[in-house]
Amino acid sequence: MSDVQLLDKNQLIEVLSQTKTATAIHIGEDALIQMANQAMLTIWDKDQSVIGKTLEDALPELKGQPFAQMFKKVWLEGITISGVETAADLKVDGEMKTFYFDFEYRAIKNEFNQTICILHTAIDVTDRVTNRQLMEEYYSKELALEREQALNEELAASNEELNAVNEELSQSQEELLALNESLERRVEARVKELSASEARYRRISDELAAINEELTASNEELALAHEQLKETFDELEDKEIALRLAIEAANFGTWHIHSESRAFITSVRLRELFGYDATHEITIEEALGQITEEYRPYVTEKLENALAGNGDYDVSYPVIGFNDKKIRWLRAIGNLKADKSGEFSSFTGVVMDISVIKKDEQRKNDFIAMVSHELKTPLTSLNGYIQVLQRKAIVFQDKFVNSSLEMAAKQVKKMTGMVNGFLNVSRLESGKIVLNLSHFSLTDLIDVVVEESRLMETSHIINFQSCEHTPVYADYDKIGNVIVNLLSNAVKYAPTAKNIEVTCTVINQMVQVGVRDHGIGIGVKDINRLFDRYYRVESNSQVSGFGIGLYLSAEIIARHNGTIWVESEFGKGATFYFNLPLYQEEIKM
């Protein structure tokens, strides 16, 4: 190394000047040109005269470009700024041209790290850049062409697609048209339907209005019915009060029986009538227990029958008071009414004290019995005298005397019949009637009675159809009286129609006797009461009688386990029937 001579400063600069790479050295903030080699001067299109000038003085065209600013930054901050293919506008041959450079501004520092100069190197890459730009341009055109072609193709494809779409569209349009048509048709149909439903709606509406009217009317009717009900209810209440007052005034006892549970609800008065304390709740059995033994079975049977719905309930009976032991005659009248549920019935009624009436009746009966008894003795002797006279008169053969005596005998017989009737009633009432039973043929008895009546009642023609084999076990006289009674009534109540038919038939082991006339007949109002004691049909008051014949007949037949009844119509005659059990020897054995 000792043989080699170190280059001096100028020599170094000379070397730098020779490099192909455009090189320059600048100093200071304004990039004062210290040195620029030929290559750099060529770029700048300048000569050595730029040495010692600031960059912008040397190249005024750089004003407005970023380079002076970069130099200042490198100088002040001691850094390196480089660029690749950076464009710079330079004046060449008096014309502004754009060049491209790869450049570097490097701060050269001393040992104190102070910037002493800026090494500026630049390589003109304008050709490269422009070539590339041309290439790029070319390629971009090619690309554009390709793109155009591709676009064209795409366009063609799109066109085709468009055509297809168009076709589809036209198809769709057709379809749409079809759809439209069908829609129109449907709309039309719907409109029709709608108008039909509108009509229907209107009809329903009208009907509804009618119903509404009816409802209003019904409502009014209901209101009216309600009013009427209220009135009826008020009336009922009034009536109930009146009834209660009447019951209280008449001093009636009241009772109520539940047909199923047999609960017995009684009023205070009823308990009094049976001789119980007012507070003592009595049972049906207790009430029945106070009835005299003689009447108890009869009342019990009547009560059970009425509760079962068979027959009415109107019974009179004596009771012996439970506490006071007083005998009272009571009359009970009841009415059975089915409950709405149909499961049970209510048996309600009143009980009244008829002791006074009974006492009066008793007195009357006693009086009648006494009178009848007293009348019987003179009548018997009168009858005896007439019979003696009749026998004597036969000798004289005086017609007048004979017929007068006959008439007298008839009247005495009639009177005897009446007196006997009264006697029988009083006997019946006091339970003193006794049946005198014997075996006889009922037909024979009828024969006898009819024969007697023919003699007595010469005004009428009595027909009798007898029947075979009619054995009975009965009271001959009393049954005879029944037939006599029916025959005399047939004569009495048929003053103009002369025929009377008596029949006799055997039905179901019973002998049935019928007495038929063609007289005045009996009205509906009276028919059920004919057999009551002292009952007489009002319109027949001019015909003599006491209303005891049928009553006695009914009692006599009942005591023989038979029945008596009548079939009649007003103005069309009447048929009275009674039946008696046939006597059967086999049963007796």
The residue at minimum Cβ distance from ligand ADP is 545
Of the candidates 132, 348, 325, the one whose C-alpha atom is nearest the C-alpha of residue 252 is 348
Distance of alpha carbon 383 from alpha carbon 411, whole angstroms: 10
Distance from chain centroid for Cα 180: 54
Distance from chain centroid for Cα 63: 112
Which listed residue (28, 289, 480, 547) binds ligand ADP by CB under 6 A? 547
Q: Which is nearer to ligand ADP, 379 or 530 (CB)?
A: 530
Q: Which is nearer to ligand ADP, 295 or 535 (CB)?
A: 535
Which listed residue (520, 527, 580, 582) binds ligand ADP by CB under 6 A? 520
Q: Which is nearer to ligand ADP, 117 or 554 (CB)?
A: 554
Q: Which is nearer to ligand ADP, 354 or 497 (CB)?
A: 497
Q: Least distance from C-beta 490 to ligand ADP, angstroms?
A: 5
Q: Are 263 and 257 in contact (CB under 8 A)?
A: yes
Which listed residue (490, 500, 504, 564) binds ligand ADP by CB under 6 A? 490
Q: Least distance from C-beta 407 to ligand ADP, angstroms?
A: 21
Distance of alpha carbon 387 from alpha carbon 384, whole angstroms: 5
Q: Which is nearer to ligand ADP, 62 or 502 (CB)?
A: 502
Contact residues for 475 (Cβ-Cβ < 8 A; gap 6+): 435, 436, 437, 438, 556, 560
The pair of three-digit structure tokens given for residue 148, joined into one six-digit string: 């155009």
Q: Which is nearer to ligand ADP, 78 or 521 (CB)?
A: 521
Q: Least distance from C-beta 421 to ligand ADP, angstroms?
A: 8
Q: Which is nearer to ligand ADP, 349 or 421 (CB)?
A: 421
Q: Which is nearer to ligand ADP, 317 or 493 (CB)?
A: 493
The pair of three-digit structure tokens given for residue 401, joined into one six-digit string: 């005397």
Only one of the segments 38-46, 209-217, 435-443, 548-556 lies at the binding site for ligand ADP (rule: CB under 6 A); that segment is 548-556
User: Cβ-count burial of 481 within 10 angstroms (0-12 exposed, 13-18 middle, 19+ buried)?
Assistant: buried
Only one of the segments 31-39, 111-119, 443-451, 512-520 lies at the binding site for ligand ADP (rule: CB under 6 A); that segment is 512-520
Q: Least distance from C-beta 283 to ligand ADP, angstroms?
A: 40
Q: Which is nearer to ligand ADP, 247 or 497 (CB)?
A: 497
Q: Least distance from C-beta 414 to ligand ADP, angstroms?
A: 12
- Going residue by residue from 525 to 544, which x/- string records binding to ligand ADP, judged by CB under 6 A? -----x----xxx--x----
Of the candidates 466, 482, 465, 473, the one whose C-alpha atom is nearest the C-alpha of residue 440 is 473
User: Cβ-count burial of 287 within 10 angstroms (0-12 exposed, 13-18 middle, 19+ buried)?
Assistant: buried
Q: Least distance from C-beta 526 to ligand ADP, angstroms?
A: 7
Contact residues for 423 (Cβ-Cβ < 8 A; gap 6+): 368, 369, 372, 373, 376
Segment holding 188, helix H or strand E: helix 126-250
| Residue written as token pair 């130099």 | 71
Q: Least distance from C-beta 491 to ligand ADP, angstroms?
A: 9
Q: Does 551 bind ligand ADP (CB under 6 A)?
A: yes
Q: Cα-flanking dihedrals φ and ψ of residue 212, to 5°?
A: -60, -45
Q: Are 452 and 485 in contact (CB under 8 A)?
A: no
Q: Which is nearer to ligand ADP, 130 or 488 (CB)?
A: 488
Q: Least distance from C-beta 514 to ligand ADP, angstroms?
A: 12
Is residue 207 helix, strand or coil? helix
User: Cβ-count burial of 26 within 10 angstroms (0-12 exposed, 13-18 middle, 19+ buried)?
Assistant: buried
The pair of three-digit structure tokens given for residue 312, joined into one six-digit string: 């009415």
Q: Cα-flanking dihedrals φ and ψ of residue 309, to 5°?
A: 90, 10
Which listed residue (272, 429, 517, 555) binds ligand ADP by CB under 6 A? 517
Q: Least distance from C-beta 375 to ligand ADP, angstroms?
A: 17
- Contacts with ligand ADP by CB under 6 A: the residue count is 21
Q: Which residues in 11-30 contact ligand ADP (CB under 6 A)?
A: none
Q: What angle (nearest 5°) sits at the alpha carbon of residue 95, between those of residues 91 and 98?
A: 60
Q: Give the long-range contacts of residues 428-431, CB within 8 A, separation 24 or more.
A: 428/552, 428/555, 429/361, 429/362, 429/365, 430/365, 430/369, 431/294
Q: Least distance from C-beta 229 to ligand ADP, angstroms?
A: 46
Q: Does 493 bind ligand ADP (CB under 6 A)?
A: yes
Q: Least distance from C-beta 219 to ligand ADP, angstroms?
A: 57
Q: Does 555 bind ligand ADP (CB under 6 A)?
A: no
Q: Which residues in 370-409 contact ligand ADP (CB under 6 A)?
A: none
Q: Does 522 bind ligand ADP (CB under 6 A)?
A: yes
Kindly write down the DSSP assignment for every residue of 287-350, as one continuous string: HHHTB-TTTHHHHHHHHHHHHTT-S-EEEEEEEE-TTT--EEEEEEEEEEEE-TTSS-EEEEEE
Assign 3-class secondary structure to 62-121: HCCCCHHHHHHHHHHHCCEEEEEEEEEEEEECCEEEEEEEEEEEEEEECCCCCEEEEEEE
Q: Least distance from C-beta 436 to ligand ADP, angstroms?
A: 23
Only one of the segments 16-24, 121-129, 475-483, 517-525 lies at the binding site for ligand ADP (rule: CB under 6 A); that segment is 517-525
- Going residue by residue from 557 to 576, which x/- string records binding to ligand ADP, judged by CB under 6 A? -----------------x--
Which listed residue (83, 321, 514, 545) binds ligand ADP by CB under 6 A? 545
Which listed residue (88, 483, 550, 580) binds ligand ADP by CB under 6 A? 550
> Helix 399-429 vs helix 549-559: angle between axes, to the nearest 10 degrees?
60
Only one of the segments 143-151, 217-225, 227-235, 489-497 lies at the binding site for ligand ADP (rule: CB under 6 A); that segment is 489-497
Distance of alpha carbon 532 from alpha carbon 553, whole angstroms: 11
Q: Cα-flanking dihedrals φ and ψ of residue 531, to 5°?
A: -90, 5
Q: Least distance from C-beta 486 to ligand ADP, angstroms?
A: 7
Contact residues for 257 (Cβ-Cβ < 8 A; gap 6+): 263, 264, 265, 284, 307, 346, 347, 348
Q: Which is nearer to ligand ADP, 352 or 548 (CB)?
A: 548
Residue 22's CB: how many other CB atoms inside 10 A?
21
Q: Least distance from C-beta 266 to ligand ADP, angstroms?
A: 37
Only one of the segments 234-242, 259-267, 405-413, 487-495 lies at the binding site for ligand ADP (rule: CB under 6 A); that segment is 487-495
Q: Does 422 bind ligand ADP (CB under 6 A)?
A: no
Residues that bind ligand ADP (CB under 6 A): 489-490, 493, 517, 519-522, 530, 535-537, 540, 545-551, 574
